């Protein structure tokens, strides 16, 4: 299942970087909202501040990074070249950013105009991305687990956006719909069919490549995305038809599929050949551990009525999944993908005339370690805030601000390294080759880690 990477097909570095650099800004807004709202942000899943906070993280942070990563991975990993990728990136990024801001403001104010603006911007931006990515994937064989996963994830994203648009319009104009059932469907498709499926599809490539682990079992990698989509489709039908017991069983089965992916990834990470486990490795381990904790907690609530009735359960699950699982994995990927992109594009620009800087020099480990500590602190304080919001809510908000400000600072540092070396290349184009064919530190695409 070794990926054959096509580095010469990579889009301009500014295409994915604009998404990566914007995501921490939404993290800053989320932290600022917690500081402003205080304990109210952890009072219930239905408060305006909690709804706004949730979508600042899911749409403003997670979706930004995921779409930016796909812009890079589609042509490089699966050979799916998007038409005019830079123009697509500019339009999608603009619409996604405006839509995320409008949606957060809409939940706080419940102004119909803001809900309409959010639906228009997010609907147009994500439709453009899905259409462009779908066109690029058309004709690409589905033998690769990553290709299968990405195709399934795009379907999941479409379903998530459609259900979200229906909910937003219903909230903005007080349309009488079964909002609780629609919200659960929106949540299930968003977290499992989109976020989990795309995370798994990317993991099949980046975990063995960057963490020096064994490959994922081929039988699991090929069937995971289809299993998730099939279970979610059946669960949706059961929910809409009011079949309570089948819906519960199918929901549990869907969650079990995600837990199986997390458990398998943890086992592979435990078999890593890295002599020392870096911050990215720790982030991945915490991400998968958080997913398993959330799965166990949800399963326990099916058998413990008091736990199921606890108002803090959805909030605790949200902290474990959004901050602990998905944000941790995303930050871990950013700390590998961004330095790699800097190295790759400088290597392509230099064409052997100048050595591209090693990935560890693009983003020194000391900078990464400090930010990861801030992220883990944020996860811990947000968990405590679920139980004791009056004591820990403001501290959790401050920690979220610090963690994202530090992440932005690190990404800007890596961007600065790229610009500095690019200027040096442009200033002296006649410099003779120094190391043709140089690679980061060990062979990329050969199963070895590039850093």
Dist CA 23 CA 66 (whole Å): 10
The one-character DSSP state at 440 is S
Residue 277 is assigned to a structural domain of this protein: yes
For residue range 251-307, list pLDDT tens digits in order: 999 999 999 999 999 999 999 988 778 899 999 999 999 999 999 999 899 889 999
Q: Residue 187: pLDDT above 90? A: yes
Q: Which two tokens stand for residue 329?
A: 């994995």
282-297 burial by CB neighbour count: b if 16+ within 10 A, else e? bbbbbbbbbbbbbbee
- The answer to whether the beta carbons of residues 61 and 23 sit under 8 Å apart is yes
Three-state SS for 28? helix
Q: Going by C-beta distance under 8 Å and a sequence separation of 6 or more, which residues neighbour residue 6? A: 75, 76, 77, 79
Dist CA 293 CA 352 (whole Å): 48
What is the mean pLDDT of the segment spanning 313-335? 96
Q: What is the pLDDT of residue 433?
A: 41
Dist CA 135 CA 103 (whole Å): 28
Q: Going by C-beta distance under 8 Å and a sequence separation of 6 or more, which residues neighbour residue 165? A: 119, 122, 123
Taking residue 388's Cβ as centre, other Cβ atoms within 10 Å add up to 11
What is the mean pLDDT of the segment spanning 2-11? 60
Place of tokens 């911007």: 121
What is the mean pLDDT of the segment spanning 427-436? 50
Q: What is the pLDDT of residue 448?
A: 44
Strand runs labelled E in 117-272: none
Domain total in the chain:
1
Place of tokens 């994922």: 216
Q: What is the mean pLDDT of the chain?
A: 89
pTM given for the model: 0.92
Taking residue 409's Cβ as centre, other Cβ atoms within 10 Å add up to 13
Place of tokens 């005339």: 353
Q: Residue 183: pLDDT above 60? A: yes
Q: Residue 75: pLDDT above 60? A: yes
- The answer to whether the beta carbons of residues 89 and 16 sit under 8 Å apart is yes
Residue 26 is assigned to a structural domain of this protein: no
Which one has a higher pLDDT value, 440 or 69?
69
Dist CA 448 CA 78 (whole Å): 19
Residue 333 is assigned to a structural domain of this protein: yes
Residue 124 is assigned to a structural domain of this protein: no
| Burial zone of 243 (CB within 10 Å; 0-12 exposed, 13-18 middle, 19+ buried) | middle
What does 306-323 look like in DSSP terms, one character per residue?
HHHH-TTHHHHHHIIIII
Which one has a higher pLDDT value, 28 or 433?
28
Residue 14 is assigned to a structural domain of this protein: no
Q: Which domain holds residue 446?
A: 272-426+433-451
Residue 392 is assigned to a structural domain of this protein: yes
Q: Which of 399, 411, 407, 408 is nearest to 32 (CA)?
A: 399
CA angle 67, 13, 22 (to 5 degrees): 50
Residue 286 is assigned to a structural domain of this protein: yes
Dist CA 273 CA 283 (whole Å): 17
Q: What is the pLDDT of residue 315?
A: 96
Dist CA 177 CA 298 (whole Å): 26
Three-state SS for 80? coil
Place of tokens 């570095």: 13
What is the mean pLDDT of the segment spanning 326-348? 90
Which of 190-194, 206-210, 245-249 is the most confident on average? 190-194
Q: Residue 349: pLDDT above 80? A: no
> Which percentage of the chain shows pLDDT scores above 90?
68
Q: What is the pLDDT of residue 319?
A: 97
For residue range 81-111, list pLDDT tens digits in order: 888 999 999 999 999 999 999 999 999 999 9
- The answer to whether the beta carbons of residues 338 and 363 sit under 8 Å apart is yes
Q: What is the pLDDT of residue 441?
A: 43
Q: Going by C-beta distance under 8 Å and a sequence separation of 6 or more, which residues neighbour residue 35? A: 394, 397, 398, 401
Residue 6 is assigned to a structural domain of this protein: no
Please state the φ and ψ torsions of residue 44, each to the nearest 5 degrees.
Answer: -165, 155
What does 365-377 look like in DSSP terms, one character per residue?
HHHHHHHHHHHHH
Helices (H), 79-144: 85-109, 112-137
Dist CA 211 CA 202 (whole Å): 13
Which one has a higher pLDDT value, 286 or 80?
286
The one-character DSSP state at 326 is I
């Amino acid at each position: 299942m070794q990926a054959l990477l096509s580095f010469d097909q990579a889009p301009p570095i500014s295409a994915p970087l604009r998404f990566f650099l914007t995501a921490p800004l939404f993290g800053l807004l989320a932290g600022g909202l917690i500081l402003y709202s205080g304990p109210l942000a952890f009072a219930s899943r239905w408060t305006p501040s909690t709804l706004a906070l949730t979508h600042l993280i899911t749409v403003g942070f997670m979706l930004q990074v995921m779409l930016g990563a796909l812009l890079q991975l589609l042509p490089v990993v699966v050979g799916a070249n998007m038409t005019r990728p830079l123009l697509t990136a500019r339009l999608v990024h603009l619409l996604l950013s405006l839509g995320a801001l409008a949606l957060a403001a809409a939940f706080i104010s419940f102004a119909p105009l803001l809900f309409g603006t959010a639906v228009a911007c997010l609907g147009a931006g994500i439709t453009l991305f899905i259409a462009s990515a779908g066109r690029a994937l058309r004709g690409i064989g589905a033998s690769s687990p990553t290709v299968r996963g990405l195709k399934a994830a795009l379907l999941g994203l479409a379903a998530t956006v459609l259900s979200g648009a229906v909910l937003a319009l219903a909230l903005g104009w007080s349309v009488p719909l079964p909002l609780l059932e629609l919200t659960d469907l929106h949540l299930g498709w968003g977290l499992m069919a989109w976020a989990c499926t795309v995370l798994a599809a990317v993991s099949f490539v980046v975990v063995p490549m960057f963490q020096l682990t064994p490959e994922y079992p081929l039988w699991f990698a090929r069937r995971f995305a289809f299993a998730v989509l099939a279970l979610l489709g059946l669960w949706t039908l059961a929910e809409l038809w009011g079949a309570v017991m089948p819906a519960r069983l199918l929901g549990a089965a869907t969650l079990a599929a995600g837990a199986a992916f997390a458990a398998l990834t943890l086992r592979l990470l435990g078999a890593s050949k890295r002599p020392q486990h870096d911050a990215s490795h720790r982030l991945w381990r915490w991400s998968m551990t958080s997913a398993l904790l959330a799965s166990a907690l949800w399963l326990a609530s099916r058998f413990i009525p008091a736990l199921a009735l606890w108002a803090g359960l959805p909030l605790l699950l949200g902290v474990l999944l959004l901050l602990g699982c998905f944000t941790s994995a995303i930050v871990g990927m950013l700390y590998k993908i961004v330095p790699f992109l800097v190295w790759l594009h400088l290597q392509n620009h230099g064409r052997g005339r100048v050595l591209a800087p090693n990935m560890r020099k693009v983003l020194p480990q000391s900078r990464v370690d400090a930010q990861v500590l801030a992220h883990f602190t944020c996860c811990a304080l947000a968990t405590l805030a679920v139980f004791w919001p009056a004591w820990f809510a403001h501290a959790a908000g401050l920690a979220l601000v610090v963690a994202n400000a530090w992440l932005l600072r690190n990404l800007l540092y890596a961007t600065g390294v790229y610009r500095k070396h690019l200027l040096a290349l442009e200033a002296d184009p006649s410099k003779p080759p120094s190391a043709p064919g140089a690679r980061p530190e060990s062979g990329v695409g050969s199963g070895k880690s590039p850093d």
